[in-house]
Amino acid sequence: MSRYVIEVAYLLSTALFILSLHWMSDPKTARRGVHGGVAAMLVAVLATWGKPEVVNHLWVIIPIALAIIPGVWLSMVPLTAVPQRTALSHAFGGLAAGLVGTAKYFYWISHEPEMLTAFRMTAIILEVILGYLTLTGSLIAAGKLQEVKWIPQRPWVYKGQNFVNFSAFGLAIILGTVLVCAPSMSFLSPFLFVVIILMSLAFGGMLVLPIGGADMPTVISILNSYAGLSAVAMGFVLDNKLLITAGALDGSSGLILSIIMCKAMNRSFFNVLFGAFGQVQQKKAEGEQQSYKPETVEGAAQIIEQASMVVIVPGYGMAVAQAQHKVRELYDQLKKRGIACKFAIHPVAGRMPGHMNVLLAEAEIPYDDLVEMDSINPDMPQADVCLVLGANDVVNPAARHDKGSPIYGMPIIDADRAKAVFAIKRSKNPGFAGIDNELYFMDKTFMLFGDAKAVVGELVKQLSGSGMH
């Protein structure tokens, strides 16, 4: 394949990547965006495969063949596991960048030391640090989301933790600077490079371990940004303009999304990365012990059928129970009765950005009825019923007034301003912020304890008449 054809193919691939992001910004064209991204990657792979310097095609075929099985497996995970699947994808991206940087360094230092200019060495160091910290950070994030037993779900903190973290990162930067100034100074260079790799791997894990599940949406988008930036550095190392462009798109979109997530939680990057949000709070309620008011499904159905407007707030409990299809049946029953039904979507509900949107879209709930937090809050006082499906911290009124609360200042969905609230919860355990939800102790709130799928299914039966007496 000629150089001209390859460059044209790279240009086409770049355009498709950009269009893919544009199409994915709208639910109506999102499917086209996915197809555009797949086509862009296919064109990029084929163009690279056709380069004149690629003489042994077996080394291209083998990794593609090996990647098919995990790729198919990752595509078949349930939607409830999409957050950890996304984290694993970031881990693979970071590993690829780290390995390419490592291979290039050791090849050049052994065979072409003159290639290790200060610029290329800087790119390699950035690629390796960002790639390997993304690898271990993403693996820890995936483990937390999957609730792996040997990975603590709550923030894992200890005295002097930030000092240890920054020391590992700082050592990697210092040694990287040494290699940039003298990339092949002596036999010590490869040893220093290996130390950089080890420090980067350690820092990635130590960076995510102190972060609780409440911050996982932001962590995933930050790791996405790191993976993109490592791809940019890899593009400079390989002198590949397409990698630079694709990595920049990935890194910038991840960064923008992280900013949006932090804004939605009223927090800063520094606070997310080093604040250990999600730690179990030891503070107990003062005075009289508060208690929940349980309600039966029959009683809830009787109130819901009298409503003119119902707002449903989905949360991680809905995802765990895989209740989205039962929720669609409930939605249909409400519509059949002429009851207006909207879904209030909080930006950080679930375990990844857009988690609730994806689940509800799978159940084919009209996208026009999925309303963002800022748009639904003014209508909450007019809602006759607010049905909370496994959401916790995103509907906790303490965020508005309790300055001692770890979620103080975080924008929430104003579920407490509805006329009546029904909350479906698996247990009385607090959410990932580790605090009780004031909403659940209010006079207007009634609890429906149980698996969200089962409870919503019973509500549907009651509303359809099959459960009425």
Q: Give the pLDDT confidence of 50-70 residue by residue, as tens digits.
A: 888 877 888 888 988 988 888
* pLDDT-flagged residues of the chain (< 70): 1, 153-155, 184-186, 212-214, 265-267, 269, 271-289, 430-434, 466-469
**DSSP one-letter code for 281:** P
Q: In angstroms, rounded to a whole number, what is the distance separating the alpha carbons of residues 231 and 237?
A: 10
**DSSP one-letter code for 215:** G
Report the interhelical angle of 355-362 vs 82-111 (nearest 10°): 120
Q: How many domains is the chain partitioned into structurally?
A: 3
Does one domain contain both 196 and 61? no
- State which residues form the domain around 435: 297-464
Residue-level pLDDT at 431: 65
Q: Is residue 31 situated within a structural domain? A: yes
Q: Is residue 442 situated within a structural domain? A: yes
Which of 22, 48, 76 marks a domain boundary? 76
CA distances from 428 to 216, 256, 268, 444, 448 (A): 22, 35, 30, 18, 11
Does one domain contain both 393 and 250? no
Q: Is residue 86 situated within a structural domain? A: no
Share of the chain above pLDDT 90, in %: 48
With CA atoms as reference, report the closest residue to 383 among 304, 286, 299: 304
Q: Is residue 82 situated within a structural domain? A: no
Q: Is residue 121 situated within a structural domain? A: yes
Active site residues: 393
Does one domain contain both 389 and 431? yes
Residue-level pLDDT at 432: 60
Does one domain contain both 251 and 362? no
Does one domain contain both 398 and 325? yes
Residue-level pLDDT at 86: 87
Does one domain contain both 174 and 100? yes
Does one domain contain both 158 and 217? yes
Q: Is residue 327 situated within a structural domain? A: yes
pTM, to two decimals = 0.79
Residue-level pLDDT at 444: 94
Q: Is residue 87 situated within a structural domain? A: no
Residue-level pLDDT at 292: 85
Phi-psi region of 287 (alpha: psi -120 to 50; beta: other; left: phi over 0): left
Does one domain contain both 29 and 55? yes
Residue-level pLDDT at 287: 39
